[in-house]
């Protein structure tokens, strides 16, 4: 339901912008933006993060969603006015939790800082005055640089790997303003790596943890 809510809010904002521009004369900003192939920018992201849990034998385990954020810089290379490659580096702060045995006293959390390297291919629609829609997809490599959890000794997080590889996909809108371009975006991320080391944890080979995030991203150029 939260995914649907994010999407509906985003679509309503896009619809309002399009309707407003269709009712009056609008000055076209950065008319020759596409003539320059390389653009640099920065971004802020607000993240809903959790583990995707697969545990066929272990006691009942869930991972509630927690909020995080990231900041970063990016570089975009346009092959033409429709296709663009995007990469950069982000510093992200996530908190993920697991609850096992149907008891919140068995709730464990892990706060961690990640250095992330995304690579995305972006397809853009035809520009309509000062806006155009886009979709993108790609992958991201993440390295955990620092962590804190609420456990001591041998615990549920002893076996968590510190490298992640995720598939990224999302959609958004480019909005050209007088001084900058704003691109709000919703992006989904699904981890492909089992972050739980099967040789170094309390649950043996039974637990599979993969990262899962939904992000609201504000890109500025």
Pick the closest to residue 142 from 194, 73, 75, 92 (CA basis): 92
Q: Are 70 and 45 in contact (CB under 8 A)?
A: yes
pLDDT at position 154:
47
| In contact, 105 and 90? CB cutoff 8 Å | no
Q: Average pLDDT, stretch 156-160?
A: 59
Dmax (CA) for the chain in angstroms is: 66
Where residue 181 sits, what CATH number does that domain have? Answer: 2.40.160.20
d(C-alpha 16, C-alpha 24), whole Å: 13
pTM over 0.85: no
What span, in angstroms and rounded, lies between the C-alpha atoms of 122 and 139? 12
- Per DSSP, helices labelled H in the chain are 2-22
190, two tokens: 């699904």
Buried b (16+ CB within 10 A) or exposed e, 114-136: bebebebebebeebeebbbbbeb
Phi (first) and psi of residue 180, to 5 degrees: -160, 170
Residue 48 has pLDDT above 90, yes or no: yes
In angstroms, the CA 126 to CA 154 distance is 56
DSSP string, 135-163: EEEEEEEEEEEEEEES--SS-TTTTB-SE
**Total structural domains in the chain?**
1
What the block records as the tokens of 116 is: 């992330």
- pLDDT tens-digit series, residues 76-111: 999 999 999 999 999 999 988 877 766 555 677 778
| pLDDT tens profile 113-151 | 999 999 999 999 999 999 999 999 999 999 988 777 655
Enclosing domain of residue 16: 2-220
Contact 55, 204 (CB under 8 A): no
């Amino acid at each position: 339901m939260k995914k649907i809510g994010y999407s509906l809010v985003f679509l309503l904002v896009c619809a309002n912008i399009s309707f407003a521009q269709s009712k009056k004369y609008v000055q076209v900003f950065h008319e020759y933006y596409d003539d320059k192939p390389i653009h640099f920018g920065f971004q802020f992201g607000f993240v809903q993060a959790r583990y995707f849990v697969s545990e066929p034998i272990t006691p009942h385990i869930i991972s509630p969603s927690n909020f995080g954020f990231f900041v970063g810089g990016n570089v975009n290379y346009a092959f033409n006015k429709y296709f663009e490659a995007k990469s950069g580096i982000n510093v992200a702060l996530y908190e993920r939790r697991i609850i096992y045995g149907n008891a919140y006293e068995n709730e464990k959390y892990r706060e961690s800082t990640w250095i992330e390297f995304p690579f995305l291919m972006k397809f853009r629609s035809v520009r309509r005055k000062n806006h155009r829609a886009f979709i993108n997809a790609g992958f991201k490599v993440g390295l955990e640089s620092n962590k804190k959890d609420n456990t001591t000794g041998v615990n549920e997080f002893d076996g968590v790997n510190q490298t992640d590889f995720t598939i990224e996909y999302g959609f958004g809108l480019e909005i050209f303003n007088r001084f900058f371009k704003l691109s709000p975006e919703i992006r989904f991320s699904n981890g492909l790596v089992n972050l739980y080391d099967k040789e170094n944890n309390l649950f043996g080979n039974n637990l599979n943890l993969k990262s899962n995030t939904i992000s609201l991203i504000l890109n500025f150029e």
